[in-house]
Amino acid sequence: MSHEKILRMNHLCTARPSLPAIRFLMCGTTYPSKSYSINRPSSSVSCIEYVVSGTGHVRIDGQELLLRAGDSYYLPQGHDHCYYADKNDPWEKIWVNFSGPFADGLAALCGVSETYHYPALNTSDLLQKFQYYAAHREPEYAAEQCVALLTQLFYRLSCRVNAPPQEPQAPVRRMLLYLEQHAAEPITLEQIAAVCGKSPSQAERLFRKETGTPLYRYALERKIAIARQLLTETGMSVREIADYLSFSDEFYFSGLFRRKVGMSPTRYRESGGTGLSPNPEAEAPEVCRERNTEQEASGAAAATAGRHTPSAAGQAGTQPGHADSGASE
């Protein structure tokens, strides 16, 4: 019986020649086995892995790391990789392997190049999606999605490394961290409230009191920020970005983006992300504000309720979330 499920990803490397200098090699799931061990001297690949259950051990750069269920770890290429399952409590883990200068640059930009262990950091949702896209019937689309997923992974690691030291367990801090980690996903108000042990109404009031921003508006602005990044750094279409950010309608997403940024997603991409384009709405901000207040509030409220649709307004926390289907790691 095999102790691993391995999905090859090499075909994604040639699907989109315009992709950054990144090669996705394989992803998969490692099932509990006392004999499991990996040793890669001067490894030519990097990996990000999440421990689903059990215990494992990692050695890198003279450090001995004990990995437990709920932990994530990142091992960059060019280092000696040695990791193995605990004999008494062998781990189950999900993972992705990749290589290329783009990944190193992304790690450096996020400030995680020399941080390997991320205790109690759940990356399973993103790692599971790699397995889904590895088996996708449209490799060009899958390749773009994998670049976006890797960016999200490094950003999540960065949130842990660069989190402010003050009040790390405060309710609002936990809500902020949850929103950052799940920014591209459909999130309900009930989910956010559960993170800090508050009722939905209490969580909403507390968030606004301490940040000065309504919770739904913060969640929406994070999605728009991710959309800007994907428009300038990938070749994903507007439809693909809308789908990735859990908007059910690319036209609704485009209209919302235009109201927030001042131009359409296509025009923003053409500007190279500079935003230097005529914006008719900017000439009469007060008039535009009156015209769009009701529509913007409707769209913003959907940021905490399932996939984004114009009809989602006023139903925050009531619609079921949307998740990609795919093989479990």
CATH number of domain containing 169: 1.10.10.60
The pLDDT value recorded for residue 185 is 87
The answer to whether position 242 is within a domain reads yes
Specify the number of domains making up the chain: 2
Of residues 87 and 298, more confidently modeled: 87
**156 and 202 in one domain?**
no
Tell me the pLDDT tens digit for each residue of 144-195: 899 999 999 999 999 988 766 545 457 888 899 889 888 888 888 999 988 8
The pLDDT value recorded for residue 327 is 33
Q: Is residue 120 within 8 Å of 67, Cβ to Cβ?
A: no
The pLDDT value recorded for residue 29 is 96
Q: Is residue 25 within 8 Å of 60, Cβ to Cβ?
A: no
Q: Is residue 71 within 8 Å of 117, Cβ to Cβ?
A: yes
The answer to whether position 303 is within a domain reads yes
Of residues 287 and 240, more confidently modeled: 240
The pLDDT value recorded for residue 17 is 60
**197 and 140 in one domain?**
no
Q: Is the pLDDT of residue 121 over 50?
A: yes
Tell me the pLDDT tens digit for each residue of 254-305: 999 999 988 999 999 998 877 654 444 443 333 333 334 334 444 444 444 4
The pLDDT value recorded for residue 7 is 92
The answer to whether position 324 is within a domain reads no
The answer to whether position 91 is within a domain reads yes
The answer to whether position 29 is within a domain reads yes
**90 and 238 in one domain?**
no
**171 and 158 in one domain?**
no
Of residues 141 and 169, more confidently modeled: 141
Residue where one domain finishes, among candidates 162, 188, 211:
162
DSSP string, 59-116: EETTEEEEEETT-EEEE-TTS-EEEEE-SSSB-EEEEEEEESHHHHHHHHHHT-TT--
The whole-number average pLDDT for the span 243-256 is 90
Tokens of 297: 């509030």
The whole-number average pLDDT for the span 94-116 is 93
The answer to whether position 327 is within a domain reads no
Tell me the pLDDT tens digit for each residue of 22-76: 889 999 999 999 999 999 999 999 999 999 999 999 999 888 999 999 999 999 9
Cα–chain center distance at 303:
16
Tell me the pLDDT tens digit for each residue of 3-26: 889 999 877 765 456 566 888 999
Domain housing 210:
164-316
**298 and 215 in one domain?**
yes
**299 and 174 in one domain?**
yes
Residue where one domain finishes, among candidates 114, 133, 162:
162
**188 and 103 in one domain?**
no
The answer to whether position 35 is within a domain reads yes
The pLDDT value recorded for residue 2 is 55
**281 and 234 in one domain?**
yes
The whole-number average pLDDT for the span 111-138 is 92
**255 and 144 in one domain?**
no
**127 and 196 in one domain?**
no
Which CATH number belongs to the domain containing residue 123 in this structure? Answer: 2.60.120.280
Q: CA-CA distance, 243 to 246, in Å (whole number)?
A: 5
SS3 218: helix
Q: CA-CA distance, 238 to 140, in Å (whole number)?
A: 15
The answer to whether position 329 is within a domain reads no
- The neighbour count for residue 28, using CB atoms within 10 Å, is 22
Residue where one domain finishes, among candidates 162, 183, 212:
162
**289 and 222 in one domain?**
yes
The pLDDT value recorded for residue 295 is 42
**50 and 143 in one domain?**
yes
